[in-house]
Structure 1
Amino acid sequence: MSAQLHLNEAQFIKLREVNKVKLARLEEIQWQYVEDSQQRTAKIAELEAQYEAECGRILTPSQLSLFREEQKRDSSPTPPANSNEGGLG
């Protein structure tokens, strides 16, 4: 991520800390709302919005654009290379 976004040292340090906090909070939400999937989903969405806001404060507009593109790629599943793969039989 650092190389793709061309982060400077200060950005790298800040973003690393934001990522640590996000992961810790995500784990906490998963544990705390294990019985309530709707509340868990809402809290995760809230966490993602806070994370995006923090990234917006750290990254330049062009870096933020690249970051969002990378997130979209990571969140969408890639289809199997061979159309016969991934199926039954």
Structure 2
Amino acid sequence: MDSLVIEKQLPSNSIELTKLVHICSQCTRTFKDINNFREHLFQEHGELGVNVRQCHLCSYATLLKSKYDCHIRCHLNNRVLRCQKCNYSTINI
């Protein structure tokens, strides 16, 4: 993994806050969230993570479960079958 920096700030009430900042060594972008940092490394620089989620219907891949779930719903929206006589619906896989 790339650089991790501890950034200190002194707000107006003088209590010291410490936050972790992840810095990409390839393009110097900074991230406060580790998951966004890992996704950036994967999407922008092709660095593979342990938990790559690969779509079984196309070439899409991501590290984030939320993005994967959203992507899969795009495929499934085209496969919904609805009964014309009642409210039943199912997904055609």
TM range (shorter): under 0.3
Taking structure 1 as the reference length, the TM-score comes to 0.26
Higher helix share: 1
Q: Which has the higher contact order (CA 8 A, sep 6+)?
A: 1
Larger Rg over CA atoms: 2
Taking structure 2 as the reference length, the TM-score comes to 0.26
Higher strand share: 2
